[in-house]
Amino acid sequence: MDPSSMADDETVYMTEEGLEELKEELHQLKTEERSRIADEIAEARAKGDLSENAEYDAAKEEQGKLEARIKQIEDTIARARIVDESTVDDSKAYILSDVTVENLDTGDEQTFTLVSEEEANISENKISVDSPIGEGLLAQEEGDEVSIDVPAGTVHFKIKDISR
């Protein structure tokens, strides 16, 4: 796999697990959530005058947000490509890499897994390759030192380990 193609705005590189989770969310939104919101709209509509009906307005707004999320997920799924880990160069940090870094300012070590934007979850140390830290780590090798601008300032990392 050519790592430079990972920056392509059209394609979304994902793990098979991440794509399945998106498909499950889409199914749940299209079935359960659409039905729930339709019931809320019908219930609010039954209460009479729609011009001053806050419940109706809230339900319609929620419906708009739901439809936007459904469209976003459908678009992501349409552009998704499963990353075959066996084709990823494991001497450098790319998507699906576990990258252990030492913060040169504090001495703290932390391991990040580089993933697609859709799979990012900071509580699991999964960071997007499109985030400032993710971008700063991409294509780096063990032993490299990098300075990355983040909203809180600049962090200085030394890459201690890269694995899959």
Give all domains of the chain, ordered by start, each with its CATH number: 3-82 (1.10.287.180), 86-163 (3.10.50.30)
Torsion of the alpha carbons at 127, 161, 19 and 70, rounded to the nearest 10: 10
Of the candidate ranges 13-17, 66-70, 112-116, the one whose mean pLDDT is the lowest: 13-17
pLDDT, one tens digit per residue, over 26-56 is: 999 999 999 999 999 998 888 877 777 888 8
Percentage of the chain modeled with pLDDT above 90: 52
The pLDDT, as a whole number, for residue 85 is 65
Which range, 10-19, 41-50, 142-151, is most confident?
142-151
Percent with pLDDT over 70 in the chain: 90
Region 5-32 average pLDDT = 80
How far is 53 from 45, CA to CA, in rounded Å? 8
Q: How confident is the model at residue 63 (pLDDT cuts 50, 70, 90)?
A: very high
pLDDT at 6: 40
Q: Which residue matches tokens 């039905």?
A: 35
Q: By the 8 A CB rule, do 81 and 12 touch?
A: yes
The pairs formed by 6-9 with CB atoms below 8 angstroms and a separation of 24 or more are: 6/94, 6/95, 6/129, 6/138
pLDDT category of residue 134 using cuts at 50, 70 and 90: very high
Whether the predicted model's global pTM rises above the 0.85 cut? no
pLDDT at 144 over 90: yes
* Residue 136 near residue 148 (C-beta atoms within 8 A): yes
pLDDT band at 9 (very low <50, low <70, confident <90, very high): low
Q: What is the CA radius of gyration of the chain?
A: 21
Has residue 64 got a pLDDT over 70? yes
DSSP 129-155: TTSHHHHHHTT-BTT-EEEEEETTEEE
Do 143 and 135 form a contact (C-beta atoms < 8 A)? no
**Nearest in space to 148 (alpha carbons), one of 113, 105, 117:** 105
| Residues whose CB falls within 8 Å of the CB of residue 116, separated by 6 or more in sequence, listed in order | 12, 13, 14, 18, 95, 128, 129
